[in-house]
Structure 1
Amino acid sequence: MTHFRPGARTVLNRRSALGGGVAGALGLAAAALPGGPTAPARAQQPAPTGTYRIDLHAHFLPPDYRAALLDHGHLTIGGYPTPDWSPEQALAFMDYYGIQAQALSVSDPGVSFLAGKEAADMARYCNTYAAGLFTSNPKRFGAFAVLPMPDIAASISEALYALDDLHLDGVILLSAYNGVYLGDPRFEPLMIALNQRRAYVFVHPAAIPDNAKPGLPLPDFLEEFTFDTTRAATMMMVTGMTQRYPDIRFQLAHAGGTVPFLSHRISLASQSVLGQLWPDDLPKPSILDTRNQISRFYYDTALSGSAAAMASVLQVTGRDHIVFGSDWPFSALTLPQTGSHDPAPGLGDIFDADQRMEIEHHNPLRQLPRLADAVNS
């Protein structure tokens, strides 16, 4: 039996530890900086008891995939040392933190560090591996399909196979591929296919190239990831992608990056003279409809389980659009080391037990009917 130790780091090889130690330490130091408010806005509410959480932001690294990452120099992901992963470790983690099931996905860089047939074969390997977990642990695992992006034709083929034949629960897309953000017309054929299947799409941030970002001594997962999610979401809205494909349900990682905080700024056009004079009986162009589009995203709690983050999300959408996420195993260093077995105690600063049950259990299962049937069977 694999035992999970709270706060314990997943196993790393020596090269991974050396490659990411500094970035990981910086991330922890930044998180511990004093000066911010420490008292909750109200008395913290207790979480529900039992193993009930459905985790829609959880990652996996099948053996051949992790080996390929390391062989291609990806010793860290977003500045975090590339972790080890196994089904046994995942189950031990879930059991400790009261997680009933996880919808697994491949994190940045997806399979885009490969090209052509190699990328397509690796995507197929990861998706088939995930489908195998449905057989070995049907009540504990779901999955979002990784696609061989930015090859659109190959990605459509893999998406259809993963959704129609493997019966995965949705698709994961990165915020950008080779500097091209979601919302770009080049992705249109894929969006058509996903919309036809009413797909659930998890939008996860990607690291931008070193020559395209400030040279700050901070790991990407600390800030840059949230900014890249924001860029992708904004591009999808202003280009009308979220309007044209209303049957795709998009989940934005980490409480939407900075989308809730910037929602007023992003929607300034609707508050201009153009927005004020636009006839009510005419469909609004995307630039004037951003408030509505922002409200339609789903926002996960991964690394965002705080009153500040969740209060911001609640200003732009309803509680029914918030879903639980742990970001494990990439969150292993940041998980609370308490006896409560609560992976996100900060949620209790703003939600009571019934509301947390809605966010951490009911909302995720409403979006993933295959997983809901498996969990409830």
Structure 2
Amino acid sequence: MTSFPSSRQTSRRRLLGGTAAGALGFAALGTAMAAGPARSQQPPSGTYRIDLHAHFLPPDYRAALIEHGHFTIGGYPTPNWSPEEAIGFMDYYGIQAQALSVSDPGVSFLGGQEAIDMARYCNTYAADLFRTHPTRFGAFAVLPMPDLAASIAEIAFALDTLRLDGVVLLSAYNGIYLGDPRFEPLMAELNRRRAFVFVHPAAIAPDAKPELPLPDFLEEFTFDTTRAATLMMFTGVTQRYPDIRFQLAHAGGTLPFVSHRIGVASQTVLGELWPDTLPRPSVLDTATQISRFYYDTALSGAPAAMASVLAVTSRDHIVFGSDWPFSAATLPQRGSHDPAPGLSDIFDADQRMEVEHHNPLRQLPRLAEAVAT
């Protein structure tokens, strides 16, 4: 598979600040490993991984992004994508199948019927992929948000007719975060269907964030996932709709780290001002809700991140994610076929098999049946 390493090298050259970001990553990894002995176990062998955080850019979708000025996504140059290159990537890194999703900005950069048509195009394209490559691809449906009526209609078509494996939602749409009461009909429908929902961060409008010389995917994406998850807890979404299984991108952003902090709100003066219409958070209740989220390993396969996740939930709520093709510049150098070697510093081989294979397939029964054939 000679084409994939050269593609990665091209992306590496194009990634602004990649060298600095890599240095920061290695420094953090060194600090985490110094805090305790690493397992340094060998991962399982073979093509076994099930990737629940992997993106695709069908031709018409990518063309529309470029036409509307989206030359970068989260500060990362908008990549090319093809089924052939995706399969090459999977073969190289021991990935049995990917559940594909559309990344930020979804289809919300379009409006009205254009957004509805583009969502249908992407979802149908994905369904065609896992009909022609049934053991290699699944997909999460993109919705024409924030149009709730059209989104609920697309859920029915995508899950009932196309048989996609779940739904992808952005953390916010036009600055309105998941958990806002305006999304209540959508959440009710997802709960009725016991849907698996992948929550992916969204870029914040330039006039709503600090002016820093850093791409959004380094920090802002993690913060936005945290905002969405916290608001869903504080407005009672995760309590009212317990049958939605939410997967939080990138190890939950910063949610594991701030898990105790957000739970003490009711013990401060804030608790006295809490609206009567909202459930009042407590340390115990917040901890329970946080433990019910699923957390993926995308760009987070390191002891510091995984130890934080394990502090707030059990290992069966961790699933593998690669974030490809947006992670192309961060993958190990050519010669290593392990896409996340840092996972072996905290998980042994059996535990990695659980995180990277068994846990994802438990959540996606259609894909599990397909890969078992």
TM-score band, normalised by the shorter chain?
over 0.9
Correspondence 1:187 to 2:169: no
Equivalent positions of 1:110-259 (< 5 A) are: 110-259=106-255
SS at match of 2:54: strand
SS at match of 2:109: coil
SS at match of 2:246: strand
Which of 258-267 and 31-40 deviates more?
Answer: 31-40
Counterpart selection for 2:30 from 38, 52, 55: 38
Equivalent position of 2:4 in the other structure: 4
Look up the equivalent residue of 1:29 and give its one-letter code: A
Correspondence 1:312 to 2:303: no
Q: CA deviation at 1:291?
A: 1.0
Q: Against the structure 1 CA distance between its residues 346 and 132, is the aligned structure 2 distance closer, same or farther, given a 3 Å change threshold?
A: same
Q: CA deviation at 1:375?
A: 0.4
Q: CA deviation at 1:28?
A: 3.5
| Native 8 Å contact 1:10 1:85 kept in 2 | no
Aligned-residue sequence identity (percent) comes to 76
| Native 8 Å contact 1:175 1:182 kept in 2 | yes
| Native 8 Å contact 1:10 1:84 kept in 2 | no
- The one-character-per-residue Cα deviations of 1:47-95 (angstroms, maximum 9, x if unpaired) are 0000000000000000000000000000000000000000000000000
Look up the equivalent residue of 1:285 and give its one-letter code: P
Q: CA deviation at 1:238?
A: 0.2
Equivalent position of 2:16 in the other structure: 25
Correspondence 1:81 to 2:77: yes
Q: Measure the CA separation in 2 of the matches of 1:11 and 1:214.
A: 26
Q: CA deviation at 1:200?
A: 0.2
Q: CA deviation at 1:339?
A: 2.4
Equivalent position of 1:50 in the other structure: 46
Look up the equivalent residue of 2:120 and give its one-letter code: R
Q: Against the structure 1 CA distance between its residues 11 and 213, is the aligned structure 2 distance closer, same or farther, given a 3 Å change threshold?
A: closer
- The one-character-per-residue Cα deviations of 1:329-359 (angstroms, maximum 9, x if unpaired) are 0000000115230000000000000000000
| Native 8 Å contact 2:5 2:334 kept in 1 | no
- The one-character-per-residue Cα deviations of 1:302-338 (angstroms, maximum 9, x if unpaired) are 0000000000000000000000000000000000115
SS at match of 2:89: helix
Q: CA deviation at 1:43?
A: 4.0
Q: Measure the CA separation in 1 of the matches of 2:134 and 2:71.
A: 31
Q: Measure the CA separation in 2 of the matches of 1:100 and 1:286.
A: 43
Q: Against the structure 1 CA distance between its residues 109 and 87, is the aligned structure 2 distance closer, same or farther, given a 3 Å change threshold?
A: same
| Native 8 Å contact 1:2 1:89 kept in 2 | no
SS at match of 2:186: helix
Equivalent position of 2:294 in the other structure: 298
Look up the equivalent residue of 2:182 and give its one-letter code: R
Equivalent position of 1:278 in the other structure: none
Look up the equivalent residue of 2:107 and give its one-letter code: V
Equivalent position of 1:342 in the other structure: 338
Look up the equivalent residue of 2:138 and give its one-letter code: G
| Native 8 Å contact 2:292 2:313 kept in 1 | yes
Gaps of at least 5 residues in structure 2 are 272-277
Q: Measure the CA separation in 1 of the matches of 2:248 and 2:125.
A: 24
| Native 8 Å contact 1:145 1:171 kept in 2 | yes
Equivalent position of 1:280 in the other structure: none
SS at match of 2:16: helix
Q: CA deviation at 1:6?
A: 7.1
Q: Measure the CA separation in 1 of the matches of 2:210 and 2:6.
A: 34
Q: Measure the CA separation in 1 of the matches of 2:126 and 2:295.
A: 23
Look up the equivalent residue of 1:4 and give its one-letter code: F
Q: Measure the CA separation in 1 of the matches of 2:235 and 2:22.
A: 35
Look up the equivalent residue of 1:147 and give its one-letter code: L
Q: Measure the CA separation in 1 of the matches of 2:205 and 2:19.
A: 23
| Native 8 Å contact 1:6 1:335 kept in 2 | no
Q: Against the structure 1 CA distance between its residues 199 and 43, is the aligned structure 2 distance closer, same or farther, given a 3 Å change threshold?
A: closer
SS at match of 1:8: helix
| Native 8 Å contact 1:7 1:336 kept in 2 | no
Q: Against the structure 1 CA distance between its residues 116 and 273, is the aligned structure 2 distance closer, same or farther, given a 3 Å change threshold?
A: closer
Q: CA deviation at 1:8?
A: 1.4
Q: CA deviation at 1:38?
A: 1.7
SS at match of 1:171: strand
Q: Measure the CA separation in 2 of the matches of 1:359 and 1:7.
A: 28
Q: Against the structure 1 CA distance between its residues 64 and 356, is the aligned structure 2 distance closer, same or farther, given a 3 Å change threshold?
A: same
Q: Against the structure 1 CA distance between its residues 274 and 206, is the aligned structure 2 distance closer, same or farther, given a 3 Å change threshold?
A: closer
Counterpart selection for 2:66 from 70, 83, 89: 70
Correspondence 1:285 to 2:279: yes
SS at match of 1:187: helix
- The one-character-per-residue Cα deviations of 1:119-167 (angstroms, maximum 9, x if unpaired) are 0000000000000011110000000000000001000000111011100
Q: Against the structure 1 CA distance between its residues 205 and 7, is the aligned structure 2 distance closer, same or farther, given a 3 Å change threshold?
A: same
